[in-house]
Amino acid sequence: MNIRELSGYSKDPETICIKVAGDDASTFLQGQFSNDINLLEKNIFQYSSYSTNQGKVIAIFRILKDSDKYIILINKEIADYFIQKLSMYILMSKVVIEVADEYSIVGVCGETSDNLLRDLDNKNSNGVKRNDGYWILDNNCRNFSSSTLVYTNIAKGIDCINRLIDEDELSLNINKLSDYYNGFLRLNIETKELYIPQVLNLEKLNGINYKKGCYTGQEIVARTHYLGKIKKKLFLISHSSDSINILSKVHDDDDEILGEVMSSNLNINQETICLAVIRLDSIKKNLYINKSKINIVN
């Protein structure tokens, strides 16, 4: 399978939407997330993260604004834990956090994606929105063109969704594949609260705003940015082993542990890819997981 020739769409059952609404929603989220909610416009989405007081990331997600409410696209596996932790800070604020079943998510790639985007109004570098009820978010990577389609079940722009009926439905999760190539990690219960945002590519994704005010974990994140230097980073790796799983350790020829796998595997182009955190001073070494050779893709 040549991914550069992929064209079509696929559902993304691993991602769900969480809705945050209420009079105090903006102020509340501004005090919790790594990005600046005040810069979030109607037709723009952000990458952002939510961390513990110690700066360890609980979840990485996309967030967009739908009228007076915020919609968070997040890994289904971490959603309940994310809501539980975030809700602890509501206190007396007028905020409601709940799963939003009325939103659906589809991945679109190749020529199908290009055709959807070609005639859209309100284009910008971070995402596009054509009509009330659906958004097309840019998820391009260097390997192929890709978009994430978010729409409500009563979308006024239903013609956009109807266009996909005549396209190929792919068995591969397009959104997930694009996320991997873009270094966007879908944290789950096993991998939560292990690393600070900078290690997990939030700077690369423009998911950290160092000029905003305080938020949960901000002191650690800011201190690392201004005074420190990260020693590990998230990389896309390829391998040919069926024994490599989440939290499998990366080691060198001397069996020194240099990192660990942070995502599930995806099979593409007759090889297997996943995301792993690896020490920056070791990326030119021979690297292995369970004695199987691995290669850094990016």
d(CA 159, CA 247): 43
Looking at residue 84, its pLDDT comes to 97
Task: Give the domain ranges of the chain.
Answer: 3-182, 198-296
For 281, how many CA atoms within 13 A lie in the half-sphere containing its CB? 5
Cβ distance 289 to 249 under 8 Å? yes
Residue 179's Cβ-count burial label (10 Å; 0-12, 13-18, 19+) is: buried
Pick the CATH number of 198-296 from 3.50.50.60, 2.40.30.160, 2.60.40.10, 3.60.110.10: 2.40.30.160
Closest of 284, 229, 232, 285 to residue 261, by C-alpha: 232
Q: In this structure, what are the phi and psi dihedrals at residue 38, rounded to the nearest 5 degrees?
A: -65, -15
Instruction: Extract the tokens encoding 96.
Output: 């409601």
Q: Does domain 3-182 have CATH number 3.40.50.1950?
A: no
Amino acid 12 reads D
DSSP state, 284?
T
Looking at residue 119, its pLDDT comes to 59
Sign of the CA dihedral with 210 first, then 214, 216, and 218 last: positive
- Per the DSSP assignment, residues forming a β-bridge with 80 are none
Closest of 34, 32, 31, 29 to residue 221, by C-alpha: 34
For 80, how many CA atoms within 13 A lie in the half-sphere containing its CB? 2
Q: In this structure, what are the phi and psi dihedrals at residue 43, rounded to the nearest 5 degrees?
A: -100, 20
Alpha-carbon separation of residue 109 from 68, 119, 243, 245 (angstroms): 30, 16, 30, 27
Count of positions (residues) in the chain: 298
Closest of 56, 57, 65, 52 to residue 25, by C-alpha: 65
For 282, how many CA atoms within 13 A lie in the half-sphere containing its CB? 25
Instruction: Look up the pTM and report it.
Output: 0.93
Q: If DSSP codes are grouped into helix, strand and coil, which group holds residue 224?
A: helix
Cβ distance 158 to 152 under 8 Å? no
User: DSSP assignment of 251-294, as one string?
Assistant: E-TT--EEEEE-S--EEETTEEEEEEEEEGGGTTS-EEETTEEE
pLDDT 10s digit of each residue in the chain, 298 long? 577 788 889 999 999 999 999 999 999 999 999 999 999 876 679 999 999 999 999 999 999 998 889 999 999 999 999 999 999 999 999 999 999 999 999 999 998 888 777 756 555 545 666 556 788 898 988 888 899 999 887 665 456 666 676 778 888 999 999 999 999 999 999 999 999 999 999 999 999 999 998 999 999 999 999 988 899 999 999 998 888 999 999 999 999 999 999 999 999 877 899 999 999 999 999 999 999 999 999 6
Looking at residue 43, its pLDDT comes to 62
Looking at residue 116, its pLDDT comes to 76
Do 3-182 and 198-296 agree at the fold level?
no
User: DSSP assignment of 37-81, as one string?
Assistant: GGG--TT--EEEEEE-TTS-EEEEEEEEEETTEEEEEEEHHHHHH
At residue 125's C-alpha, the angle toward residues 120 and 129, to 5°, is 35
Alpha-carbon separation of residue 188 from 31, 96, 99, 257 (angstroms): 23, 23, 17, 22
Looking at residue 125, its pLDDT comes to 47
